[in-house]
Chain A
């Protein structure tokens, strides 16, 4: 039997919370780099 680390409910909730926040930050960075690229290469924003 493989022994694993058991997360408490509070730890699971905190990890989910951190992952959502990190996901939002990474998503924001993708959008940010996309917009900066458009500005830097002088292409008008299609939006």
Chain B
């Protein structure tokens, strides 16, 4: 949908300190100019194609399809992008925009580290300074990505406040931005935060569904019956859904992280367990207690371990255009192992949440049905924590 005044229905808005208002207004104006600028778009397309490796493949998962015995399963291979995830799409767009705006420094939050690595990568490529805020807990469970960011020339600041995860990294990046705005762009990693971020990030990620829609029409001559993606803040999901939203016959399914289960407190399934609130610059759904205190959420996946969800998802949920299901740690780990064995593809633990749901529903669908699952990232970064989940310690000595 087209947002009006930064709103998707009642959701979105810009609930931020006055100090940042002119910065987001300036960003909105710059984006509105450059999104229609042929030179900007040509430059971005060249970065997408030559640097990030787009278009990403739409791969027919033949063995998985045969094994499950139902709908045909196609995988949208965002894991094959440079830096190993969909995050690079948004980052290249924002970094180029920031550079056009005269900014010389990028700051970012990161959960699993994929957005941080992508931002550090773009900063290296475009010759910009880079500081990444990452929860201390996430630094520990995603040590490889911390190393990569430093290798790429970024400074990584561990955040120890609150639950020391993605939510706290976002808060700290926002605080940093209020203290240094003139030369700094906050390269937000998901379709969340104050307007215009949910729109900008969605537009840059929409390349996923633009390609997937063309690719499936070319391969199958028809649209899919369902598109499935994992949802934390929701950037790969909105990117996967966007160009299918007008196609009413296509089910759009977002997979939230249920953690240890939506009937426990150790969950991050926002639409399944949260209610409407205002936080991190936006009105949307949040996991919170009766007094509006934000809940300390949990998921095995650092990238989905967030107590909110982007405002456009909240809207798609309310109008019934997209459905949002909850997938537990156990189901995601099983799908992580399943795709590795069946197709020789190790998916990110985030993406494994989407795959788990495909494994669940494909057998119930006819063989003439088609599902597209977005593999938002690759799983190298998750091997240590999945091994630990299975009781194996991979520490190298």
Q: Is chain B found bound to chain A in the same assembly?
A: no
Binding site for B on A (CB under 8 A): none
Binding site for A on B (CB under 8 A): none
